[in-house]
Structure 1
Amino acid sequence: MFVDSVSFTVSSGKGGQGCASFRREKFVVKGGPDGGDGGKGGDVYFLVDNNTDTLSSLKGRSVIKADNGRQGEGRTKTGKSAQPLIIVVPPGTQIIDDETGDILLDLLEEGQKELFLEGGKGGLGNVHFKNSRNQRPTYFQPGLPGQSRKIRLELKLIADVGLVGYPNVGKSTLISTTSNAAPEIANYEFTTLTPKLGVVEVGDYNSFVMADIPGIIDGASDGKGLGLEFLKHIERTKTLLFMIDIANYRTTIDQYNVLKEELKKFSTELSGRNYAIALTKTDAYYGEDVEADIKSFIKEIGLELSDSNEYGFDKSLPYYVQDLTYSRFDESKPFFVLPVSSVTHLNTNSIRFALYELIGQTKK
């Protein structure tokens, strides 16, 4: 089960109390205090693990607490310190103060381990309080209490390419065709209820991560549909692939404008990310002239048709791709506008190489 938000109270362990003890041994005339110190309470750490992709293991828990330190013992024996509590989370997890909304930690890198709450210090035993005026102290220190905090964990998936589009435009089909992901595919809207990640292989040694995000509709940034709940998952994606259904009753330009507007409302930074456009379901087109519609859309967004074919695009339908031979990448324009069909595999192979090139431009 995919869970991307959980709330609970987390507490570090209390320190163990010191010990009041006195040395008594056979044939030893003078004894004295020998109470040991208490052990330290358990610390709380967060650890990022790439093998974890959900917060489901933390769902339903209201309190997570580290163990307390053990009490000190006689013969100046220190109590055992508690083991640290390590909470394993997937990369992209934010630790947020549930009361103020402040972001306390942003966990991104595999193996990243952050101390969140420190355990209480153990109390001193009575051996520390012996002096010339008090040879027989009977008191000791209690352990210091641990720390406690009410937090919320928010998971924002990390991917190289995020698929953005209306429901049922072919996002799940494309990611299943080009990657190792196996999302549910059906002919109705909102088939995808949770984000899916897939690794797309490009040649023998290169790959990138693609994220299938649940459909965005008009008004998603205001909470309509599932958009508001899952728009956060494309915040961390380096590049966006706009999926526009050319066989939909909505016009291609209307779909494009709504997607751009919803992204801008949700995050100005997100709306400025590098992007490309895939015109999907060309096999299901029911209009009079699919070629003319594609040309019209490319012209409407201020672009011109291309002849470049370095990525192996199928030339049976028109397309646009930025020519980087003699010029720099223009971030204000889509890297490509490409007709695709996951059913007939039109351009599904070559789009992998074009997206990999787009990711490379983003890193520069």
Structure 2
Amino acid sequence: MDEKLLEVKNLTFSFHTYGGVVKAVRDVSFDLKQGEVLGIVGESGCGKSVTSQCILKLNPEPPGFFEGGEILYKGQDIVKMSEKEMRAIRGKEIGFIFQDPMTSLNPTMKVGKQIEEIFVGRKDMTAAQKKEKALEILKLVGISDGEKRYNQYPHELSGGMKQRVMIAIALVGKPSIVIADEPTTSLDVTIEAQILDVLKNLQKEMNTSVIMITHDLGVIAKMCDRVVVMYGGKIVERGTVDEIFYHTKHPYTKGLLHSIARLDTDKNQRLEPIEGTPPDLFAPPKGCPFAARCEYAMEICSKLPPEIYHISEQHETECWLHHEFAPETDLNRKEA
């Protein structure tokens, strides 16, 4: 699991709008290793979906544009690739599960034909072989009576069934990486658990690397090996799941964890919301993006962007609290 399949380096992506330029993703760097599940977590508008779509150049250009950075897949820079080169990567090398199957599936095409689209242009495959692959992946994602489903239209399937079809489309080409952008957002909790189990089992079976985009920390705990926490278009903390959940080092991550109910939460105990509003990405703050909402904020936080502090080999955070001259708090206290 040491081989780096994907390296995102200093990625900066913005959008031209009538109101000005929106700095959606700002200097984001992370990597993905062979066979691991990486979670990207954060509230709506933090830049996680834009980041994931940059990897396959799915954001429309214009109005979107790359301001800087590299996205290296097996050593090749995706940012510099042409549309023709990207077509060879989308689906075949990197699959994508979109967050809303209701709108992502083509309502005018039968399910089977949508799964087979990945094989368009493959002259080495007959129509019968393409159908065989489609039926095989439908079985793998837990859809019974594959022949019947193959010939149905999306409106004839339930929400959970549609999401399984989305997973089938993403995995049928046996890609090295699958990006799952909030794959369970529109589903109820019982179906969500089934879909996550399907995804986890297939990931292990195929040794596929997965990037899981979500705002749900329960999904992160169940699925991921490492976690990247985003806020205001930037990465504020990264580490293994245990480090992020049990040794939190950034005030925003702490706020996220305290804003959800736990099994041992008393029924009379109020959840703690994160006060304030996200930063304006038309004019991003000079310092830490979370400074205006942070209970620990110091004068330097709003003036200068924090340095990267290495807590352990895999655990990093961007927070001034870890500077040697910062006052002691529960987040920077040395662990025994």
TM superposition score normalised by structure 1: 0.23
Q: Which structure's CA Rg is the greater one?
A: 1
Flag the structure with more relative contact order, 1 or 2, with Cα contacts below 8 A and sequence separation at least 6: 2
Name the structure where helix makes up a greater proportion of residues: 2
